[in-house]
Amino acid sequence: MELTPDERGRYARHLLLPEVGLAGQLRLKNASVLVVGAGGLGSPVATYLACAGVGKLGILDDDRVERSNLQRQPLHATPDLGRLKVDSARERLAALNPEIEVEALPERLTMRNAEEIVGRYGLVVSGADNFAARYLVSDVCVRLEKPWVHGALHRFDGEVTLFAPGGPCYRCLHPGPPAPGESPSCAEAGVLGVLPGIVGSLMATEALKFLLGIGDGLSGRLLLIDALSMNFRTVRFSAQPGCTGCTGTLPLEDLSEECAPPASNLRFMKEITAPQLKALLGSGEELRLIDVREPDEWAIGHIDGATLVPLATVPATCASWDPDEKIVLMCRSGKRSSDALAYLAQQGFTDLTNLRGGILAWSDQVDPSIPKY
């Protein structure tokens, strides 16, 4: 393949770099990258890879644009509210660079589709905001011998690394997921709006270096960013003896449930919809309504009659509760409350129900005066 006259003009500053030049730009044109997530990290990653001329980009995300996304996800704009993120992302990327191909994948990476989707691309860049997805990306990339760039955010902090074939894997860095409540997502803990731009740009840089075969990659090194102190530091990590992830033989069937409550607790997993909960509260039935979000989230809006018990404090607080009383748990979207439900089930509580969709569903279906965030 050759560069067209338009492409030569578009990538003129790349062509001036001896480390890139015409040969390097052609390598980018022939490259394919899967971007997992079109949110805070996926926005700058996809934007800069598109502008750089990566020939094929896959954007994988099953979420829709919410107002709270607009603080840090510049791939999407106010008119995109309610649209699939992959659709608004594809539209914006095509406007930035019509010379490339953008494949919109409106789905979630699962044990059933991971190998087929990842197998179509030469490099994966993941901005997934949960541990289960990160383990799945890692294990399928090891199995298929695909390199991938990892990035993560937490409030004012970020991290970036590269996992290359033959090097340590994500499980070498994080052998197992944290306990419930120990590592909240951005939706749970908040994030400085500009931080995804910093971390995502570094992820895109690492991806371009790998595709071009230049510079010193981050394989075996974790770059840590502290935006409050504006401190960048690198720590080394290596392959761990006996790491199950490095073998590439870990069954993918186990991965999507990696961070889910134990199967033995599933019999306790009752759910209630927001309208059903409204009716239950109106019936006068006696119950304990527990909100396991954080105080700052509670202050944004909450259901009247609920009690705030942040997830990390549930073990210490529940000792005073009656194990046979009816308890309804809730959080922002239903994930943390399901973790709390699983813990309470292990402690012998017998009448547990989770609010399906959490406060977001309550805002949508019952009380729109509670802001969505």
- Is-catalytic flag, 331? yes
* β partners of residue 36: 60, 126
Q: What is the C-alpha to C-alpha distance for residues 269 and 341, in angstroms, rounded to an integer?
A: 7
Angle, helix 195-212 to helix 42-52, in steps of 10 degrees:
40
252, 128 in Cβ contact below 8 A? no
Among the listed residues 186, 243, 259, 318, the single catalytic one is 186
Q: Which two tokens stand for residue 293?
A: 């979000």
Among the listed residues 141, 169, 246, 331, the single catalytic one is 331
DSSP 7-73: HHHHTHHHHT-TTTHHHHHHHHHT-EEEEE-SSTTHHHHHHHHHHHT-SEEEEE---B--GGGGGT-
Q: β-pairing, 148-154 with 157-163?
A: antiparallel
284, 268 in Cβ contact below 8 A? no
**How far apart, in Å, do the first and last CA atoms of the chain sit?**
46
Could you give the 3-state DSSP secondary structure of residue 168? coil
Q: What is the C-alpha to C-alpha distance for residues 347 and 260, in angstroms, rounded to an integer?
A: 17
Query: What does the DSSP 8-state code read for residue 191?
Result: B
Q: β-pairing, 157-163 with 221-226?
A: antiparallel
Q: What is the C-alpha to C-alpha distance for residues 188 and 173, in angstroms, rounded to an integer?
A: 23
Instruction: Say if residue 186 is exposed, middle or buried (CB neighbours under 10 Å; 0-12, 13-18, 19+).
Output: buried
Q: Which two tokens stand for residue 194?
A: 């500009």
Q: β-pairing, 157-163 with 327-330?
A: unpaired
Annotated catalytic residues are 186, 331
